[in-house]
């Protein structure tokens, strides 16, 4: 498999993932019933599984490891934070003002990860 093709697939899935998550975050305020739609429940799992499978394949193909690439370790840590904040923000804290803060922090994670991926720096700003 071609590394560049896989990298573009990974990046494309990453943009799709963050767009879909931000859409679901907005819908949870404006049209919460829509979040129960089958497509909106399944699509994030399919996209995120593909995103992660491509990520691991890229890292293996390039011989990159979080042990010797701090930016990769930072991405993995941010991924775990994205999953935790996203789950708490969408599924818990209903009626709490903290929900918006948690959702905003969740959306910030993949944006940070994109910047890290492009610069290979733990602090890319």
Binding residues (CB under 6 A) for ligand HEM: these are: 7, 10-11, 14, 17, 51-52, 55-56, 58-59, 62, 64, 72, 75-76, 79, 82, 110, 113-114, 117-118
What is the smallest separation between the CB atom of 58 and ligand HEM, expressed in angstroms? Answer: 4
C-beta of 16 vs 30, nearer to ligand HEM:
16
Specify the DSSP element, H or E, that contains 64: none
Alpha-carbon span 92 to 8, nearest angstrom? 34
C-beta of 40 vs 79, nearer to ligand HEM:
79
C-beta of 79 vs 84, nearer to ligand HEM:
79
What is the smallest separation between the CB atom of 17 and ligand HEM, expressed in angstroms? Answer: 6
Q: Provide the 3-class DSSP secondary structure of residue 123.
A: coil
| Dihedral sign computed on CA atoms, order 99, 19, 53, 77 | negative
What is the smallest separation between the CB atom of 33 and ligand HEM, expressed in angstroms? Answer: 27
Contact partners, residue 55, CB within 8 Å, separation at least 6: 10
C-beta of 32 vs 111, nearer to ligand HEM:
111
Residue positions counted in the chain: 125
What is the smallest separation between the CB atom of 97 and ligand HEM, expressed in angstroms? Answer: 26
Nearest residue to 71 via CA among 120, 110, 7, 19: 120
């Amino acid at each position: 498999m071609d590394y560049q093709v896989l990298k573009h697939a990974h990046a494309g899935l990453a943009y799709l993932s963050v767009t879909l998550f931000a859409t679901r975050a907005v819908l949870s305020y404006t049209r919460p019933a829509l979040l129960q739609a089958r497509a909106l429940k399944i699509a994030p799992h399919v996209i995120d599984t593909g995103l992660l499978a491509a990520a691991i394949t890229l890292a293996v193909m390039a011989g990159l490891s979080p042990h010797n690439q701090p930016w990769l370790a930072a991405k993995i840590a941010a991924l775990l934070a994205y999953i935790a904040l996203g789950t708490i923000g969408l599924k818990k804290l209903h009626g709490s003002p903290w929900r918006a803060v948690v959702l905003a922090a969740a959306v910030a994670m993949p944006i940070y990860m994109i910047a890290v991926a492009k610069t290979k720096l733990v602090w890319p700003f």
